[in-house]
Protein backbone atom coordinates (compact mmCIF):
# COMPACT_ATOMS: atom_id res chain seq x y z
CA UNK A 1 0.00 0.00 0.00
CA UNK A 2 3.08 2.27 -0.23
CA UNK A 3 3.23 5.04 -2.81
CA UNK A 4 5.60 4.71 -5.76
CA UNK A 5 6.61 8.34 -5.13
CA UNK A 6 9.39 7.09 -2.83
CA UNK A 7 10.01 7.49 0.92
CA UNK A 8 8.51 10.46 2.77
CA UNK A 9 9.23 11.87 6.21
CA UNK A 10 6.73 11.04 8.97
CA UNK A 11 6.72 12.09 12.65
CA UNK A 12 6.90 8.37 13.49
CA UNK A 13 9.19 5.97 11.67
CA UNK A 14 6.51 3.28 11.48
CA UNK A 15 3.82 5.57 10.07
CA UNK A 16 2.59 4.02 6.80
CA UNK A 17 2.66 6.03 3.59
CA UNK A 18 -0.99 5.92 2.58
CA UNK A 19 -1.39 9.18 0.67
CA UNK A 20 -2.18 7.43 -2.62
CA UNK A 21 -4.62 5.07 -0.92
CA UNK A 22 -6.51 7.97 0.70
CA UNK A 23 -6.80 9.78 -2.65
CA UNK A 24 -8.13 6.59 -4.16
CA UNK A 25 -10.59 6.15 -1.26
CA UNK A 26 -11.91 9.67 -1.80
CA UNK A 27 -12.56 8.93 -5.46
CA UNK A 28 -14.31 5.59 -4.99
CA UNK A 29 -18.10 5.40 -4.78
CA UNK A 30 -19.79 3.60 -1.90
CA UNK A 31 -19.54 -0.14 -2.27
CA UNK A 32 -17.53 -3.26 -1.40
CA UNK A 33 -14.30 -2.00 -2.99
CA UNK A 34 -14.39 1.23 -1.01
CA UNK A 35 -15.25 -0.61 2.22
CA UNK A 36 -12.32 -3.00 1.73
CA UNK A 37 -9.87 -0.14 1.13
CA UNK A 38 -11.22 1.71 4.18
CA UNK A 39 -10.64 -1.38 6.34
CA UNK A 40 -7.08 -1.67 5.01
CA UNK A 41 -6.37 1.94 5.92
CA UNK A 42 -7.73 1.46 9.42
CA UNK A 43 -5.59 -1.64 9.88
CA UNK A 44 -2.50 0.15 8.57
CA UNK A 45 -2.86 3.00 11.08
CA UNK A 46 -4.01 0.89 14.02
CA UNK A 47 -0.49 0.72 15.61
CA UNK A 48 -0.49 4.53 15.78
CA UNK A 49 -3.88 4.53 17.52
CA UNK A 50 -2.71 1.92 20.02
CA UNK A 51 0.43 3.94 20.70
CA UNK A 52 -1.74 6.94 21.53
CA UNK A 53 -3.91 4.80 23.82
CA UNK A 54 -0.75 3.73 25.65
CA UNK A 55 -0.12 7.32 26.71
CA UNK A 56 -3.26 7.16 28.88
CA UNK A 57 -2.83 3.70 30.38
CA UNK A 58 -1.72 5.03 33.82
CA UNK A 59 -4.92 6.98 34.46
CA UNK A 60 -7.02 4.24 36.00
CA UNK A 61 -8.76 2.88 32.90
CA UNK A 62 -8.40 -0.61 31.45
CA UNK A 63 -5.89 -0.58 28.58
CA UNK A 64 -8.02 -2.82 26.37
CA UNK A 65 -10.90 -0.38 26.73
CA UNK A 66 -8.56 2.47 25.78
CA UNK A 67 -7.45 0.54 22.67
CA UNK A 68 -11.09 0.13 21.65
CA UNK A 69 -11.77 3.83 22.12
CA UNK A 70 -8.63 4.75 20.16
CA UNK A 71 -9.68 2.40 17.36
CA UNK A 72 -13.07 4.10 17.23
CA UNK A 73 -11.35 7.47 16.98
CA UNK A 74 -9.17 6.13 14.16
CA UNK A 75 -12.22 4.95 12.20
CA UNK A 76 -13.75 8.42 12.57
CA UNK A 77 -10.49 9.98 11.35
CA UNK A 78 -10.34 7.71 8.28
CA UNK A 79 -13.98 8.46 7.42
CA UNK A 80 -13.62 12.23 7.83
CA UNK A 81 -10.16 12.82 6.37
CA UNK A 82 -10.08 14.82 3.16
CA UNK A 83 -6.77 14.47 1.30
CA UNK A 84 -7.71 17.42 -0.91
CA UNK A 85 -7.03 19.77 2.00
CA UNK A 86 -3.34 19.10 1.60
CA UNK A 87 -2.36 18.03 5.13
CA UNK A 88 -1.02 14.61 6.05
CA UNK A 89 -3.42 12.06 7.50
CA UNK A 90 -1.37 11.69 10.70
CA UNK A 91 -1.69 15.41 11.53
CA UNK A 92 -5.47 14.97 11.34
CA UNK A 93 -5.71 11.53 12.96
CA UNK A 94 -3.61 12.18 16.09
CA UNK A 95 -5.84 14.95 17.53
CA UNK A 96 -8.96 13.03 16.45
CA UNK A 97 -7.93 9.84 18.26
CA UNK A 98 -6.61 11.72 21.29
CA UNK A 99 -9.82 13.72 21.50
CA UNK A 100 -11.89 10.53 21.42
CA UNK A 101 -9.85 9.10 24.32
CA UNK A 102 -10.20 12.30 26.35
CA UNK A 103 -13.94 12.30 25.71
CA UNK A 104 -14.08 8.75 27.03
CA UNK A 105 -12.43 9.82 30.27
CA UNK A 106 -14.69 12.83 30.59
CA UNK A 107 -17.92 10.95 29.89
CA UNK A 108 -17.28 7.59 31.53
CA UNK A 109 -14.60 7.84 34.17
CA UNK A 110 -15.84 10.69 36.37
CA UNK A 111 -18.24 9.40 39.02
CA UNK A 112 -19.75 12.86 39.50
CA UNK A 113 -20.32 15.54 36.90
CA UNK A 114 -17.30 17.85 36.92
CA UNK A 115 -17.27 21.09 34.89
CA UNK A 116 -15.00 21.03 31.85
CA UNK A 117 -12.90 23.89 33.29
CA UNK A 118 -12.16 21.90 36.45
CA UNK A 119 -11.22 18.85 34.38
CA UNK A 120 -8.79 21.00 32.39
CA UNK A 121 -7.30 22.37 35.63
CA UNK A 122 -6.91 18.81 36.89
CA UNK A 123 -5.03 17.77 33.75
CA UNK A 124 -2.69 20.80 33.90
CA UNK A 125 -1.95 20.16 37.56
CA UNK A 126 -1.38 16.44 36.92
CA UNK A 127 1.16 17.17 34.19
CA UNK A 128 2.89 19.79 36.34
CA UNK A 129 3.14 17.34 39.25
CA UNK A 130 4.78 14.77 36.98
CA UNK A 131 7.25 17.33 35.63
CA UNK A 132 8.11 18.90 39.00
CA UNK A 133 8.26 15.62 40.92
CA UNK A 134 11.05 14.15 38.77
CA UNK A 135 14.66 15.14 38.37
CA UNK A 136 16.65 15.04 35.17
CA UNK A 137 17.14 11.28 35.50
CA UNK A 138 13.40 10.62 35.92
CA UNK A 139 13.68 9.73 39.59
CA UNK A 140 10.82 10.70 41.86
CA UNK A 141 11.45 13.72 44.06
CA UNK A 142 9.49 15.61 46.65
CA UNK A 143 5.89 16.73 46.17
CA UNK A 144 5.76 20.34 44.87
CA UNK A 145 3.57 22.80 46.73
CA UNK A 146 0.81 25.04 45.37
CA UNK A 147 3.13 28.01 44.81
CA UNK A 148 5.58 25.92 42.77
CA UNK A 149 2.83 24.47 40.61
CA UNK A 150 1.38 27.95 40.06
CA UNK A 151 4.77 29.32 38.93
CA UNK A 152 5.38 26.35 36.67
CA UNK A 153 1.99 26.50 34.95
CA UNK A 154 1.16 30.19 35.14
CA UNK A 155 -2.05 29.29 36.99
CA UNK A 156 -3.41 31.11 40.01
CA UNK A 157 -3.12 29.51 43.43
CA UNK A 158 -6.89 29.11 43.56
CA UNK A 159 -6.92 27.27 40.22
CA UNK A 160 -4.09 25.00 41.37
CA UNK A 161 -6.01 24.11 44.52
CA UNK A 162 -9.12 23.36 42.44
CA UNK A 163 -7.03 21.12 40.19
CA UNK A 164 -5.52 19.30 43.16
CA UNK A 165 -8.97 18.69 44.66
CA UNK A 166 -10.24 17.35 41.33
CA UNK A 167 -7.15 15.15 41.08
CA UNK A 168 -8.17 13.43 44.31
CA UNK A 169 -11.87 13.12 43.46
CA UNK A 170 -11.71 11.37 40.09
CA UNK A 171 -13.86 8.56 41.43
CA UNK A 172 -16.06 8.01 44.46
CA UNK A 173 -15.62 5.38 47.14
CA UNK A 174 -18.43 3.07 48.14
CA UNK A 175 -19.73 3.62 51.65
CA UNK A 176 -19.22 -0.12 52.12
CA UNK A 177 -15.52 0.12 51.18
CA UNK A 178 -13.22 -0.95 54.00
CA UNK A 179 -11.11 1.89 55.38
CA UNK A 180 -7.34 1.66 54.75
CA UNK A 181 -5.59 0.02 57.69
CA UNK A 182 -8.81 -1.43 59.07
CA UNK A 183 -8.56 -5.06 60.04
CA UNK A 184 -12.06 -5.56 61.38
CA UNK A 185 -14.12 -4.65 58.30
CA UNK A 186 -14.71 -1.06 59.47
CA UNK A 187 -16.14 0.75 56.45
CA UNK A 188 -16.39 4.37 55.34
CA UNK A 189 -20.11 4.31 56.15
CA UNK A 190 -19.30 3.36 59.74
CA UNK A 191 -17.21 6.51 60.07
CA UNK A 192 -19.98 8.88 58.97
CA UNK A 193 -21.75 10.85 61.64
CA UNK A 194 -25.49 10.99 62.18
CA UNK A 195 -27.87 13.62 63.44
CA UNK A 196 -27.91 13.82 67.24
CA UNK A 197 -31.50 13.31 68.44
CA UNK A 198 -30.74 15.63 71.38
CA UNK A 199 -30.42 18.54 68.92
CA UNK A 200 -34.19 18.52 68.53
CA UNK A 201 -34.59 19.45 72.19
CA UNK A 202 -32.03 22.28 72.28
CA UNK A 203 -34.52 25.00 71.42
CA UNK A 204 -37.08 23.63 73.87
CA UNK A 205 -34.53 23.51 76.69
CA UNK A 206 -33.39 27.05 76.06
CA UNK A 207 -36.99 28.27 76.03
CA UNK A 208 -37.84 26.43 79.28
CA UNK A 209 -34.70 27.37 81.22
CA UNK A 210 -35.66 30.98 82.21
CA UNK A 211 -39.26 29.92 83.04
CA UNK A 212 -38.04 27.21 85.40
CA UNK A 213 -35.71 29.71 87.07
CA UNK A 214 -38.70 32.00 87.72
CA UNK A 215 -40.65 29.33 89.66
CA UNK A 216 -40.78 29.39 93.47
CA UNK A 217 -37.90 27.51 95.12
CA UNK A 218 -40.04 24.63 96.43
CA UNK A 219 -41.61 23.99 93.03
CA UNK A 220 -38.16 24.02 91.39
CA UNK A 221 -36.95 21.49 93.94
CA UNK A 222 -39.93 19.22 93.33
CA UNK A 223 -39.47 19.32 89.56
CA UNK A 224 -35.76 18.61 89.96
CA UNK A 225 -36.37 15.60 92.20
CA UNK A 226 -39.10 14.25 89.95
CA UNK A 227 -37.56 14.72 86.49
CA UNK A 228 -33.82 14.85 87.11
CA UNK A 229 -33.41 12.48 90.05
CA UNK A 230 -36.30 10.26 88.93
CA UNK A 231 -37.86 10.16 92.42
CA UNK A 232 -41.46 9.01 92.88
CA UNK A 233 -44.12 11.39 94.15
CA UNK A 234 -44.37 9.36 97.35
CA UNK A 235 -40.64 9.68 98.00
CA UNK A 236 -40.73 13.44 97.31
CA UNK A 237 -43.67 13.87 99.68
CA UNK A 238 -41.88 11.91 102.38
CA UNK A 239 -38.70 13.99 102.01
CA UNK A 240 -40.53 17.33 102.06
CA UNK A 241 -43.04 16.33 104.74
CA UNK A 242 -46.12 16.98 102.59
CA UNK A 243 -48.80 14.75 101.11
CA UNK A 244 -48.40 12.98 97.80
CA UNK A 245 -51.57 14.69 96.55
CA UNK A 246 -49.97 18.07 97.22
CA UNK A 247 -46.82 17.05 95.35
CA UNK A 248 -48.94 15.97 92.40
CA UNK A 249 -50.82 19.30 92.32
CA UNK A 250 -47.55 21.31 92.52
CA UNK A 251 -46.01 19.34 89.65
CA UNK A 252 -49.08 19.79 87.46
CA UNK A 253 -49.37 23.49 88.27
CA UNK A 254 -45.67 24.17 87.64
CA UNK A 255 -45.65 22.30 84.33
CA UNK A 256 -48.82 24.08 83.14
CA UNK A 257 -47.35 27.46 84.08
CA UNK A 258 -44.07 26.85 82.26
CA UNK A 259 -45.89 25.48 79.17
CA UNK A 260 -48.22 28.49 78.98
CA UNK A 261 -45.35 30.97 79.30
CA UNK A 262 -43.33 29.22 76.63
CA UNK A 263 -46.31 29.17 74.25
CA UNK A 264 -46.99 32.81 74.97
CA UNK A 265 -43.38 33.72 74.26
CA UNK A 266 -43.36 31.91 70.91
CA UNK A 267 -46.63 33.40 69.72
**Domain endpoint, select from 90, 109, 128:** 109
Residues 126, 137: one domain? yes
Query: What CATH number should be reported for the domain holding residue 31?
Result: 1.20.120.1810
Q: Are residues 96 and 43 in the same domain?
A: yes
Q: What is the pLDDT of residue 104?
A: 79
Q: Does any domain span residue 258?
A: yes
Position 30 in a domain = yes
**Number of domains, the chain:** 3
Question: How far apart (Å, rounded) are the C-alpha atoms in residues 72 and 107?
Answer: 15
Q: Is residue 91 part of a domain?
A: yes
Together in a domain, 117 and 161 = yes
pLDDT of amino acid 138: 39
Is 154 contained in some domain?
yes
- Judge whether 260 lies within some domain: yes
Same domain, 117 and 105: no
Q: Please write down the HEC assignment for all residues of the chain.
A: CCCCCCCCCCCCCCCCCCHHHHHHHHHCCCCHHHHHHHHHHHHHHHHHHHHHHHCCCCCCCCHHHHHHHHHHHHHHHHHHCCHHHCCCHHHHHHHHHHHHHHHHHHHHHCCCCCCHHHHHHHHHHHHHHHHHCECCCCCECCCCCHHHHHHHHCCCHHHHHHHHHHHCCCCCCCCCCECCCCCCCCEHHHHCCCCCHHHHHHHHHHHHHHHHHCCCHHHHHHHHHHHCCCCCHHHHHHHHCCCHHHHHHHHHHHHHHHHHHHHHHHC
> What is the structure's pLDDT at 171?
55
Between residues 60 and 130, the one the model is more confident about? 130
Mean model confidence pLDDT for the chain: 79
Residues 100 and 124 in one domain: no
How far apart CA 22 and CA 82 sit, in angstroms, is: 8
72 and 117 housed in the same domain: no
pLDDT of amino acid 8:
43
Position 240 in a domain: yes
pLDDT at residue 180, as a whole number: 60
Question: In this predicted model, what pLDDT tens digit does every residue of 104-155 receive, in sequence order?
Answer: 776 665 555 667 787 788 778 888 887 887 644 434 456 788 999 999 999 9
pLDDT > 70: what percent of the chain? Answer: 73
Q: Residue 183 above 70 pLDDT?
A: no
State whether 77 and 93 are in the same domain.
yes
Report if residue 251 sits inside a domain: yes
Residues 98 and 115 in one domain: no
- Same domain as 94, residue 35: yes
What pLDDT score was predicted for residue 137? 40
CATH number at residue 240: 1.10.10.10
Residues 97 and 132 in one domain: no
| Domain, as residue range, for 207 | 200-266
Same domain assignment for residues 142 and 204? no
11 within domain boundaries: no
pLDDT band at 187; cut points 50, 70, 90: low
- Per residue in 1-41, pLDDT (tens digit) is 443 333 444 445 557 889 999 999 999 999 999 999 999 99
CATH of the domain at 134: 1.10.10
Confidence at residue 6, expressed as pLDDT on a 0 to 100 scale: 39
Amino acid sequence: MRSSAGPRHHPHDDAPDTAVAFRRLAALPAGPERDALRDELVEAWLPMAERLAGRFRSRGENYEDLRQVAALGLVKAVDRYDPARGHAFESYAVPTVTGEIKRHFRDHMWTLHVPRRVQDLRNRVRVALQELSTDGQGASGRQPDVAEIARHTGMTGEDVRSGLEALESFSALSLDAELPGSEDGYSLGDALGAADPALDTVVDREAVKPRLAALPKREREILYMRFFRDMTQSRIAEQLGISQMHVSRLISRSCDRVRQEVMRGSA
